[in-house]
């Protein structure tokens, strides 16, 4: 995508003066030069033009409020005096992966009094003997070179106050706290439901046990009655007992039959 078209898309119906951040990474520059960008972007603070085949920054407009400039993975080999002229308040400059070979190429950056972070990763200049000491000597305003200060202390990843990370963390922590409370409430409800189910099961088991006891008592009573009947039968004379049994079975006593025949 051409740089002019990319600029139009990034504006999203905004006026150039309303834009504070502009990312044009991986688009196509015009003959290795910046096109479409003008001084109308007067409030621009962050500009990224990574991997756009840029050979020169000579067409960079005047951007007094620009603080951070990303130019990594291009083919810039010099002409850095333009930065001092047109971005006087620059604090961060990334030239990693460009064609910078000599320390003297960086000398124009001395005119950027607020520049405190410079990145030159994968530039040939980093292979020079005493590279770091030479750059810190040339640019005394620098705090960090390639992510480390002169004492090899690593630069912080970001400024929490500037990025608003602190607020995001608090918001996330607040959400996590609410989620934990909701989970606790759900667990409590689940436990109450389980307790209620256990109570119902206990009641059912109790009723079943009572039913079982009643059935056993009824069986015992019936058995008792049968035993009493048997005992009563044992007390009767043998003839009476046999007669009673026959009557129970619906048969007639042979003696009675004989009596009937005699009659």
Higher pLDDT, 145 or 229: 145
pLDDT on residue 257:
47
Percent over 70 (pLDDT), the chain: 60
Over the chain, what is the mean pLDDT?
77
At residue 173, does pLDDT exceed 70? no
Give the β-pairing of 68-70 and 92-94: parallel
Check: CB of residue 40 under 8 Å from CB of residue 18. Answer: no
Distance CA 10, CA 2 (A): 12
Q: pLDDT value at position 45? A: 98
**Assigned domain for 21 exists:** yes
> In this predicted structure, what is the pLDDT of residue 186?
56
How much is the average pLDDT of 83-105? 96
Mean pLDDT score, 224-229: 51
Burial profile 63-94: b = 16 or more Cβ within 10 angstroms, e = fewer: beebbbbbbbbbebbbebeebbebbbebbbbb
Rounded to an integer, the average pLDDT of 57-85 is 96
DSSP lists the bridge partners of residue 70 as 48, 94
Whether 214 is in a domain gets the answer no
User: Using CA atoms, how far apart are residues 73 and 53, in angstroms rounded to an integer?
Assistant: 8
Model confidence at 219, pLDDT cuts 50, 70, 90, reads: low
Question: Residue 82 maps to which CATH number?
Answer: 3.80.10.10
- Alpha-carbon separation of residue 175 from 160, 163, 182 (angstroms): 20, 20, 11
| Domain region containing 127 | 3-145
Residue 210 within a domain = no
Q: What is the mean pLDDT of residues 149-177?
A: 58
CA distance 230 to 195: 52
Bigger pLDDT: 255 vs 139:
139
Domain count, the chain: 1
**CB 41, CB 62: distance < 8 Å:** no
Which pLDDT score, from 0 to 100, does residue 259 have?
A: 47
Q: Is 8 inside a domain boundary?
A: yes
CB atoms within 10 A of CB 110: 13
Give the range among 133-137, 186-190, 203-207, 258-262 with minimum mean pLDDT. Answer: 258-262
Q: Is residue 116 part of a domain?
A: yes
Is residue 102 situated within a structural domain? yes
Q: How wide is the angle at C-alpha 232 spanned by C-alphas 226 and 234, nearest 5°?
A: 105
Reported as a single tens digit per residue, the pLDDT across 107-159 is 999 999 999 999 999 999 999 999 999 999 999 999 999 999 999 999 887 54
Most confident among 89-93, 174-178, 217-221 (mean pLDDT): 89-93
In a domain? residue 185: no
0.75 surpassed by pTM: no
Is 136 a domain residue? yes
Q: How far apart are the first and last CA of the chain?
A: 136
CA atoms of 83 and 61, how far apart (whole Å): 10
Asked if the model's pLDDT at residue 194 lies above 80, the reply is no
pLDDT reading at 49 higher than 90: yes
220 pLDDT above the threshold of 70: no
pLDDT at res. 170: 44
């Amino acid at each position: 995508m051409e740089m002019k078209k990319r600029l139009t898309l990034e504006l999203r119906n905004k006026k150039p003066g309303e834009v504070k951040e502009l990312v044009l990474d991986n688009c196509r520059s015009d003959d290795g030069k910046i096109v479409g960008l003008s001084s109308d972007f007067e409030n621009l603070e962050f500009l990224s033009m990574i991997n756009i085949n840029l050979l020169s920054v000579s067409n960079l407009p005047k951007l007094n409020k620009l603080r951070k400039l990303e130019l990594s993975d291009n083919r810039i080999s010099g002409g850095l005096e333009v930065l001092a002229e047109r971005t006087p308040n620059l604090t961060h400059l990334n030239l990693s992966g460009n064609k910078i070979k000599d320390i003297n190429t960086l000398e124009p950056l001395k005119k950027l009094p607020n520049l405190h972070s410079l990145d030159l990763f994968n530039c040939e200049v980093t292979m020079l003997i005493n590279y770091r000491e030479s750059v810190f000597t040339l640019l005394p305003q620098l705090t960090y070179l390639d992510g480390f200060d002169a004492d090899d202390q690593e630069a912080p990843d970001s400024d929490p106050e500037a990025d608003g990370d602190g607020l995001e963390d608090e918001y996330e922590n607040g959400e996590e706290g609410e989620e934990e409370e909701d989970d606790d409430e759900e667990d409590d409800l689940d436990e109450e439901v389980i307790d209620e189910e256990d109570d119902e099961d206990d009641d059912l088991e109790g009723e079943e046990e009572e039913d079982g006891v009643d059935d056993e008592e009824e069986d015992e009573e019936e058995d008792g009655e049968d035993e009493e009947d048997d005992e009563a039968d044992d007390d009767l004379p043998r003839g009476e007992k046999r007669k009673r049994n026959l009557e129970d079975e619906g048969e007639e006593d042979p003696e009675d039959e004989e009596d009937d025949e005699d009659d």
